């Protein structure tokens, strides 16, 4: 039963597990996916995955370069594989990988694109596991940004974030039901040839796949 559902949504797609799951889960409403190349260690790997899945699903995909971020901002995420700390769930450690206000910058651009394309929704795959470290993933930020883009656009664009209360393992369970091949997603903050298996994002990935009962076919160094 296929009814003609309206494609009214722009998805911020990194090419990691979470936003890729959102792409598959909400594909009937996604008119456009947008990835941002902000010069991080792992952008090339991530964006190749994002492009792969958009092609699979026939979703239009834009890649927007944000060179100014790596030029003017400091973050371990922008400073090469050696700058990424070994995973320890230590807050100070993880904080070194924050790119200042990254989601705010990306969402502001997505709001402009949405208005430009006459789309009424932006989707982002922030989740509960991000809240502790990243202020621009928390419910208070998402709520305020939703209000801001609604007030700042003629068509009253809304920010929709259905994974805000989910853990990464919950998201992986959605992906399992959708039959997503997670080996074609990228998590590692080091951005090497293969996932390192030891940084925080690799550890989170391994744990989420295990908790969701998904066979992890990712190649680790």
- Binding status of residue 202 toward Zn ion by CB under 5 A: yes
> In terms of CB distance, is 96 or 153 closer to Zn ion?
96
Nearest to 121 by CA among 136, 132, 109, 110: 110
Determine the Cα–Cα distance for residues 218 and 212; give it in Å rounded to an integer: 15
Report the candidate in 94, 77, 85, 69 with the shortest Cα–Cα distance to residue 42. 77
Assign 22 to helix, strand or coil.
Answer: helix
Q: Which is nearer to Zn ion, 81 or 128 (by Cβ)?
A: 81
Binding pattern to Zn ion, positions 31-70, x when CB under 5 A? Answer: ----------------------------------------
CA-CA distance, 126 to 104, in Å (whole number)? 12
Q: Give me the DSSP letters along 93-158.
A: HHHTTPPTTHHHHHHHHHHHHHHHTT--EEE----GGGTTT-GGGSHHHHHHHHHHHHHTSTT--E
Comparison of 12 and 196: residue with beta carbon closer to Zn ion: 196
Cβ proximity to Zn ion, 9 vs 41, nearer residue: 41
Site string for Zn ion, 115-154 (x = CB under 5 A): ----------------------------------------
Judged by CB under 5 A, does residue 196 bind Zn ion?
yes
Q: Is 199 in the site for Zn ion (CB under 5 A)?
A: yes
Residue closer to Zn ion, measured from CB, 50 or 199: 199
State the nearest-atom distance from the C-beta of 84 to Zn ion, in Å: 7
- Residue 174 or 190 having the CB closest to Zn ion: 190
C-alpha to C-alpha distance for 49 and 53, rounded to whole angstroms = 6
Cβ density class 1-35: b for 16+ within 10 Å, e for less: eeeeeebbbbbbbbbbbbbbbbbbbbbebbbbbbb
To Zn ion, the closest distance from the beta carbon of 207 in angstroms equals 13
**Closer by beta carbon to Zn ion, 84 or else 142:** 84
Cα distances from 114 to residues 34, 104, 111, 159, in angstroms, run 11, 15, 5, 11
List 188, 206, 209, 212, residue binding Zn ion (CB under 5 A): 188
Q: Which stretch binds Zn ion (CB under 5 A): 13-21, 93-101, 155-163, 198-206?
A: 198-206
Q: How far is the CB of 192 from Zn ion (least distance, A)?
A: 8
Which residues make up the interface to Zn ion (CB under 5 A)? Answer: 188, 190, 196, 199, 202
């Amino acid at each position: 039963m296929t009814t003609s559902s309206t494609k009214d949504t722009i998805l911020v797609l990194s090419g990691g597990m979470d936003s890729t799951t959102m792409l598959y889960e909400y594909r009937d409403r996604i008119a456009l996916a947008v990835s941002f190349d902000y010069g991080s260690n792992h952008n090339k790997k991530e964006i190749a995955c994002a492009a792969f899945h958009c092609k699979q699903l026939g979703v239009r995909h834009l890649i927007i370069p944000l060179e100014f971020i790596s030029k003017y901002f400091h973050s371990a995420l922008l400073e090469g594989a050696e700058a990424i700390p070994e995973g320890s769930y230590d807050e100070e450690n993880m904080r070194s990988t924050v790119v200042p206000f990254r989601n705010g910058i990306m969402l502001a651009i997505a709001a402009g694109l949405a208005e430009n394309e006459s789309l009424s929704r932006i989707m982002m795959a922030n989740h509960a596991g991000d809240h502790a470290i990243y202020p621009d993933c928390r419910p208070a930020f998402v709520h305020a940004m939703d209000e801001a883009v609604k007030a700042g656009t003629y068509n009253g664009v809304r920010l929709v974030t259905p994974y805000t209360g989910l853990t990464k393992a919950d998201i992986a369970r959605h992906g399992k039901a959708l039959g997503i091949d997670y080996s074609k997603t990228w998590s590692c903050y080091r951005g090497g040839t293969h996932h390192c298996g030891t940084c925080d994002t690799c550890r989170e990935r391994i744990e989420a796949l295990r908790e969701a009962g998904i066979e992890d076919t990712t190649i680790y160094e």
